[in-house]
Amino acid sequence: MADFGNAGTITVKSANEAATLVDRTAGEYLFYRLTVSGANPRFTFTCDSNKFSHGDFPGDPKSVYEWSWNRAAPLAPGAPNAVTGAPNDTHVTFLDFITATKYSLFIEQRRADDTRVKVLRDVDYASQDSNDTFGDMLDVLIK
């Protein structure tokens, strides 16, 4: 039986936290890396009032996408940095398997100096069925 959709599989590599508490007053932020296998990726990230997709990244399509949430500045020129003032938030990364066959999602909570607080998500999502989609959710509580 599939983990999602018709043929989707989920493989937890090291972490799969459902929620986290981020200390924004101390400058903590979230770092995201999405690695794609197969053909062109199709994904969308949403949180609070922010939404962006693969096409919003310079060089799309590519095999690695990186972005941040509430970092003091973007990770790199053109890299999205979602900013929210909401007291709590739900982050959803929607993955579409029309042409890509595997996504590896890595989410890390970091301090203002970019050192790691903890790994929140290190998971592979794969499917050979082009009709499959998956919505990865992370609840973010803000201190």
Confidence (pLDDT) at 32: 97
pTM summary value: 0.95
Q: Does residue 73 belong to any structural domain of this protein?
A: yes
Q: Is the pLDDT of residue 78 over 90?
A: no
Residue 22, domain member (yes or no): yes
Checking if the pLDDT of 55 tops 90, the result is yes
- Give a yes or no: residue 34 inside a domain: yes
**Residue 3 within a domain:** no
pLDDT at 81 exceeding the cut of 90? yes
Residue 1 inside a domain? The answer is no
pLDDT of residue 39: 87
User: Is residue 4 assigned to a domain?
Assistant: no
**How many structural domains compose the chain?**
1
Give pLDDT, residue 85: 77
pLDDT tens for residues 57-75?
999 999 999 999 999 999 8
What is the average per-residue pLDDT within 22-49? 94
Q: Is residue 69 part of a domain?
A: yes
pLDDT of residue 2: 92
> What residues make up the domain containing 54?
9-142
Could you write out the DSSP letters of every residue in the chain? --SBTTTBEEEEEEEE-SEEEE-GGGT-EEEEEEEEEES--EEEEEETTEEEEGGGSTT-S-SEEEEEES-SS-SSTT--EE----SEEEEEEEEE-SSEEEEEEEEEEE-TTS-EEEEEEEEEEE-S-TT-EEEEEEEEEE-
- Please indicate, yes or no, if residue 124 is contained in any of the structural domains: yes
pLDDT band at 22 (very low <50, low <70, confident <90, very high): very high
